[in-house]
Structure 1
Amino acid sequence: MDIQEQEGKRSRPVISLVLPCFNEEEVLPETTRRLTALLDRLEADGEIDPASAIFYVDDGSRDGTWGLIAAYSRQNPRVCGIKLSRNRGHQNALLCGLMTAPGEVLISLDADLQDDLEAIPRMVQSYRAGSEIVFAVRSKRETDSPLKKFTAQAYYRMLAFLGVQVIYNHADFRLMSRRTLEVLRDYGETHLFLRGLVHQLGFKTDIVEFERMERFAGESKYPLSKMLSLAWQGVTSFTAYPLRLITGAGVLVSLASLAMAAWAFCLRLFTNEALPGWASTVIPMYFLGGVQLLSLGIIGEYLAKVYESSKNRPRFHVETVCGLPFGKAGVK
C-alpha cells in the first residue's frame, strides 16, 4: 500500500473515457481535441495515469465516423475505437464500451460535447477520495426548449411515482470503478436502462453537478420517439406497477358498473323516468373495450420482454477494434 492510500486517498487511476457514436463525423474532430487536451492536463496535474485513453464506440454509423476514429487511433496514442457489427442502440453501445475498455475507472459521456468536460476532474477527485460511482447531474435546464423541459420533469416524476429509483436529471454521464463494472457484468438483461441499473448497484456514490451545453455540431440522435421508447423501457424494466394499476383500474371499473346497474334498477323500479337509449349501452361498452385493450397491451409488453429475454441473444457483436491498449488488455 502506498503513502497516498495510507492517507485515505487512492493513487492516480488509469481512466478510460467511453463515448458511443452514431453518425458523429461533424463533431468528432473537436471532441477528440478537447478530450486529449483534458487528459494531458489531468496527467500533468498528477490526477490520472499516463495510460488513460479515449474509447469511441461506433454504433453502426452510416457516415465517416469510423474512418475518423481509425485515423485518430493511428495518429493519437490516446484514441481507441470499437466498431459494432451493426446499429444496436445507444444503451447497448454504451454497455459494449464499458465491458470492453480496460482501465481502473471508466467515465461514460456523449460525443456531442453537451456534457461539460470540466466536470470530469471533479469526478476523478471524488473517486480518489473513495467514491465507487459518481453521477454527473444537470444543475439546470436552460438549454432545453419548454417542451423538452416539461417532458423531462414529467418523466422523472412519473418514474418516482411508479417506484423506479433513478437520479433526478442524470442521464449517462457518470464515473464507474472497475469493481462496480464487474458487478454490472453479472446483469444479463436484454432491455437495458443503465441509469436505473447503475443506481441499483449500491456502493459508495457521489454527485457532481454540471451545466449542459449546446450541441457543438450536427443533429441530435435522440428524437422524441427514441426518448419515449427509453422512458417506457425504464418503466417496464424496473417496476411491475403498471400491472398493479391494471388491477386497480379493473376494480374501479367493476365498482362503477355495479353502481350504474344499481342506479338503473332503482330508476326503473321507483320512477317513470327510465328511457331506453343507446348511450347507456354503447358508452360503457366502448369504455370497457378500451380498458381491456390497454390492459392487454401492457401485459403484452411484459410478456414480450420475457420472450426476448428467454432467447438469450447477445446484446452486441464487436466487428473490429483499433488502438494500442487493446493489444495489452484484449477484448472481453
Structure 2
Amino acid sequence: MIDLPLVSIAIPVYNEEGNIAVLYSRLHTLASDMVDECHFEFVFTDNSSTDNTWTMLRNLAAKDSRIRALRFSKNFGFQRSILANYLHTRGDAVMQIDADLQDPPELLREFLALWRKGYHVVYGIRRARPEGRLIHSFRKIGYWMIDRISEHPIPRNAGDFRLVDRKVIDALANQRSAEPYLRGLIAGLGFRQIGITYDRSARTAGVSKFNVGQLIRLGLTGVFNHSLVPLRLATVAGTVILSLSALGTVYYLILKLLFPDFPRGIASLHILILFGIGFQSLLLGILGEYLLRIYRILRREPIAIIQDAINLEPEDIKL
C-alpha cells in the first residue's frame, strides 16, 4: 500500500465571509480529484475578523474534520498570520493561498510535481494581475529595489502563493523575527527553489485589505530585515558630507584670505544647517529602525496570541 503524503493548505483570512463558501468548495473539489495522490488538511488563521468569517469556519469544521483553524486576539498582520499558520500545519508539504482565490489552488498538481522532483520551495510568478497601472508599477519598482539591495536574491513578481517542504517549515520555526518578511526569510534559507508562471485572477468577492500604506510598510520591512545597505549608506553618506564640509571650509578660508571684505552668506549658512539637521535625522531614523527590530526580538514578542481554536488540542498550540 502506497503511503500518500499529507498536504496542508494554509489560508490566512480577515473578513472573508464572501469568499469562504466558494473557497471551501474549490478546495473540497481539489481534494476529491487528488484523493489518490495525497491526503489533505485545511488550516485557517483568522486575524480577528469582525464579520462572520469565524462562524463560517466553525460551521464548516463541524462537517469536515480536515479543517483546523486558529483565531487571534487581535489583528497581528498578514505576514505573522502566514507564519503562525505554517507552524500549525502537519503536512509533508504546505501550500499557502489567499482566501480571495486570486491564486488558483488547482496549481497544486504542478507544485507537487516539482516538489517530488526535489524542490523544497515552489512559488507562483505572476504573469498578469488585475490591478491599476499605477499600483502595478509601484509594486514592480518596489520588488526590484528590495531584490537589488537584499543580501540574497528574492524572487520578483512573486507573492506568498507557494508550496514549501516540511524542512522549510522546521527551519522557519527556528527563526526569530518580530516582524517577519517571509519572502526574504524563505529565500535566505537556501533551499532548492523554482517558480511557476501563472495569471492572477480578480477577487471573487469583497475588496483587498492590502492598501498602499501596508504595501509600503511591507517593503520597508523587507529592506530593513534583509539588507545592510541602509546602514552602509549612512556610513558612506556621512563620510561624503564630512569630506564636502572640509573642502567647503578650505574654500571659504581661501576666499577670506584673498578677499577680506567677502560678505557672510546668511542664506547659505541656514541652508547648510537645515540640511545637516535633516540628514542627521534621516540617519538616526535608519538606525532607529534596526534598533527597534533588535529590541522587539529581545523582548520575545509572540508571533500571535490565540484566542480560540478549532480541531486543535491545547498542546498543539505552538505560539
TM over 0.5: yes
Asked whether 1:152 is paired with 2:115, we answer no
Deviations for 1:10-66, whole angstroms, at most 9, x for unmatched residues? x642111001011111111111111211121122xx3222xx021111111111110
Tell me the TM-score normalized by structure 1. 0.89
How many residue pairs end up in the alignment?
316
Amino acid at match of 1:246: A
Q: Which moved more, 1:195-204 or 1:267-276?
A: 267-276
Pair 1:48–1:281, CA change in 2 (3 A):
same
Asked whether 1:274 is paired with 2:262, we answer yes
The equivalent of 1:98 in structure 2 is 86
Amino acid at match of 1:152: R
Q: Contact 2:13/2:47 (CA < 8 Å) preserved in 1? A: yes
User: Once superposed, what is the RMSD of the aligned Cα atoms?
Assistant: 2.0
Deviations for 1:110-146, whole angstroms, at most 9, x for unmatched residues? 11111122322100111122222111111234x2212
Q: Contact 2:147/2:156 (CA < 8 Å) preserved in 1? A: no
The equivalent of 1:72 in structure 2 is 60
Pair 1:280–1:331, CA change in 2 (3 A):
closer
What does 1:62-211 correspond to in 2, within 5 Å?
A: 62-141=50-129, 143-164=130-151, 165-211=153-199
CA distance in 2, matches of 1:124, 1:61: 31
What is the CA distance between 1:211 and its match in structure 2?
A: 1.1
Tell me the TM-score normalized by structure 2. 0.92
Q: Contact 1:133/1:174 (CA < 8 Å) preserved in 2? A: yes
Amino acid at match of 1:120: L
Asked whether 1:14 is paired with 2:1, we answer no
Spell out structure 1 runs of 4+ moving beyond 4 A: none
What are the ranges of 5 or more consecutive residues in structure 2 without an aligned counterpart? none
SS of residue matched to 1:139: strand
2:243 to 249, 252, 255: 255
SS of residue matched to 2:163: strand
Amino acid at match of 2:146: L
CA distance in 1, matches of 2:102, 2:134: 19
What are the ranges of 5 or more consecutive residues in structure 1 without an aligned counterpart? 5-10
Q: Contact 1:12/1:128 (CA < 8 Å) preserved in 2? A: no
